[in-house]
Amino acid sequence: MKIRLASYSLIICFFLVTDDAYSDPIRDANRLLQVTDIGKHFEVTAQLQTRDIIRTYVSIVSMSLEVTLPEQIKNKIASCYAKVYAWENFQPGIAQIFAENLSQKELRLLIDFYRNLGLPPMEIKAFKELISKSEQIRRMSAEYIFLNSGSCVDQDAGVINEYLANQQQPIKTAIISD
């Protein structure tokens, strides 16, 4: 019984110690995304862009038709963008890009760096080489997002046009009935 318990303990220790040595690149890429908080930054950027899009719609409708879009319409538009540009839609693909373009060592170096574990002096050259890959990874990520994102433009136009048609309906009725 003691031998069996010792064997299990040894196996558990082996897995705990070797976990880093045989780590999965996707898991490390996801860990990197987590420690850098890229998802939060992505969501904030998407919200700011959505706000700007809604402001543009409001401005166009206000200037051309002198009509104010109600909050309900703005919320429908924002809801579409929140669904289409949710980080969860892109995170697996971005993690894949990181895993395919960064070595395990590079992923670990970045994870440690972002966890404020510092950068060993002997890794400075490797870190500089790693930074040189950032533009390519940024481009690939942007292309991935572009190719894998939906569009809200048709829905936005439909919601706005429906609202405007309903706004003009009472005016036409009043003119016809006089």
Higher pLDDT, 169 or 77: 77
Q: Residue 177's pLDDT is what?
A: 38
Q: How confident is the model at residue 143 (pLDDT cuts 50, 70, 90)?
A: very high
How high is the pLDDT of residue 12? 43
Give the separation between CA 28 and CA 114, rounded to whole angstroms: 13
Residue of 160, 162, 165, 169 whose CA lies nearest to 69: 160
Percent of the chain whose pLDDT exceeds 70:
81
Instruction: Find out whether 92 and 148 touch, Cβ atoms under 8 Å.
Output: no
Distance CA 50, CA 25 (A): 33
Ranges of each domain in the chain:
24-163
Query: What does pTM read for this prediction?
Result: 0.76
Lowest mean pLDDT among 16-20, 46-50, 124-128: 16-20
Contact 28, 104 (CB under 8 A): yes
Structure confidence at residue 116 (pLDDT): 84
